[in-house]
Structure 1
Amino acid sequence: MTTILIVDDDSRIVELVETHLLEKGYQTIKAANGMDALDQLKKHSCDLAIVDVMMPFMDGLQLTKEIRKKYNIPILLLTAKDQITDKEAGYEAGTDDYLVKPFEPLELLFRVKALLRRYDVQEDTLLRIGNITVNTNTFEVTVDQRSLFLPPKEFDLLVYFIQHKKQILSRDQLIEQVWGADFSGDERTVDVHVKRLREHFKEISPFVQIKTIRGIGYMLEETE
């Protein structure tokens, strides 16, 4: 799975960026400053870094220089400034791209994909949990190498659950992300699709379960 390092001392920005990256199937590693980011890079293999310019202990420009010394990964700088001199400093430090805050999440995602392509990072289209493998390109679901057909919305719901495994997801959240904000149905639609997914996997993948969180929604987890 493609792993992206998010470095920012503003937890709200980190959460915003992480939320949109997770929704697209990326894995994330978080750091609150440059020193923390270098420690994370020693522990984890990352495919791209999103770095804020203004941070304590080590700013984004210095961090970019340090990353460039040891790692060949794309770097996207985030900054609240929109001055040509700041951009020049960023590019001289070794950044690949520059995004001014506040930014549109879609633009961030476009730039991330472009940088991954530029560095020829192969984005993982396979999602896995337990003995279930989902290919988001071919829409194929396999359980222990046995193919399983799912209708489109059941497939989309399964993908979203796997991308957010071990997270409590409300019915409203599932409707908005899987069916769309303009969906005119009700919460029972989610319940029906969850019931169908459970029926598909209860015998062939008993350790992967969609648990009901009373009064809220559901959570996908692997029990063994």
Structure 2
Amino acid sequence: MSKLLVIDDDIDMLDLVRATLEKDGHQVDTEVDATTIQPSKCQQYDLLLLDVMMPSENGFSLCSRIRSEVDCPILFLTAKAEDTALVQGFGLGADDYIKKPFSIAELRVRVNAHLRREVRQPTHTLSRSGVRFNMQEKMAIVGEDTIFFTKGEYAISEHLALHIGQVFTKEQLYEAVFGFDADGDSSAIVEHIKNIRAKLKAYNLNPIETVWGVGYKWRKDKIL
């Protein structure tokens, strides 16, 4: 059983999400006021669902405030599907977003896909182009430094590195990493890739290549 926290000022939405996810066997706690949420509270949960548009403190602000101390997946519930909003959310460390209005099936599939990915337990490491992947701890390391990837960023990097030289479309990457397909997936992958590149650029690394008109691949060589 996974433990989830849902934060939304809409009581009806909270009741719907709680009832839906409890049917899958999860323990679901809810809050209506983001300003009362502290990182220490969030650390006990396996996944957070944050509404973007809340009057007291919006989901973006809350994510920014807690992300450095919270290691679980963070998903946004949002009616804001514009690219600028998605860029902002992923830049703050979100792992995914669910656009309102959403179906019950989509909510269940997205949440459970992220939770399944959390419990995978590979037992080996992988080194590619200066990046070392600890696949047990789900950590990416360059030299002596651990790269602060979100769950989604790490999963995409690991998948590309495991299949070095193979080109994946945005849709294929999303399905491979999260286990399902839905509207908006391409935007999620694009923003995750941007963030991965920005974090590796600090170490003069650029292992992910864009294959124009197709998708992305991890370079076979060590071009910096």
TM-score (norm. length: structure 1): 0.50
Identity fraction in percent: 39
Quote how far apart the aligned CAs of 1:97 are: 0.3
Number of aligned positions between the proteins: 121
**Distance in structure 2 (CA, Å) of the matches to 1:33 and 1:66:** 14
| 1:35 aligned residue | 35
* Ranges of 4+ aligned residues in structure 1 off by more than 3 Å: none
Which residue of 1 is the match for residue 193 of structure 2? none
Equivalent position of 1:99 in the other structure? 98
2:59 aligned partner:
60
> Does structure 2 conserve the Cα–Cα contact (< 8 Å) formed by 1:47 and 1:121?
no
Question: How does 1:1-224 map onto structure 2 within 5 Å?
Answer: 1-38=1-38, 41-42=40-41, 45-120=44-119
Query: Which consecutive residues of structure 1, in runs of 5 or more, have no partner in the other structure?
Result: 123-224
Distance 2:120 2:51 in 1: 22
Matches of 2:78 and 2:2 in 1, distance apart?
A: 24
Larger radius of gyration: 1
Asked if the contact 2:42/2:70 (under 8 Å) is kept, the reply is no
Letter of the 2:71 partner, please give it. N
Structure 2 unaligned blocks of 5 or more: 122-224
User: Matches of 1:27 and 1:17 in 2, distance apart?
Assistant: 11
How far apart, CA to CA, are the structure 2 residues paired with 1:75 and 1:24? 19
CA distance in 2, matches of 1:119, 1:66: 22
Conservation of the 8 A alpha-carbon contact between 1:51 and 1:77: yes
Tell me the C-alpha RMSD between the 2 structures: 1.9
- The separation in 2 between residues aligned to 1:101 and 1:76, in whole angstroms, is 13
Q: How far is the alpha carbon of 1:54 from its aligned partner?
A: 0.7
Whole-Å Cα distance in 2 between the matches of residues 44 and 96 of structure 1? 16
State the secondary structure of the residue aligned to 1:94: coil
Give yes or no for contact 2:75–2:95 (8 Å, CA) kept in 1.
Answer: yes
Instruction: Supply the distance in 2 between the matched residues of 1:96 and 1:5 (Cα, whole angstroms).
Output: 15
Query: Normalising to structure 2: TM-score of the pair?
Result: 0.50
For 2:93 and 2:75, the matched residues in 1 are separated by 10
CA deviations 1:52-79 (Å, max 9, x no partner) are 0011222101111122121101011011
Shift of 1:101: 0.5
1:41-62 Cα offsets, whole Å, 9 max, x none, are 5287111000000112221011
Change (3 A) 1:85 1:103: same
> Which letter does structure 1 place at the counterpart of 2:7?
V
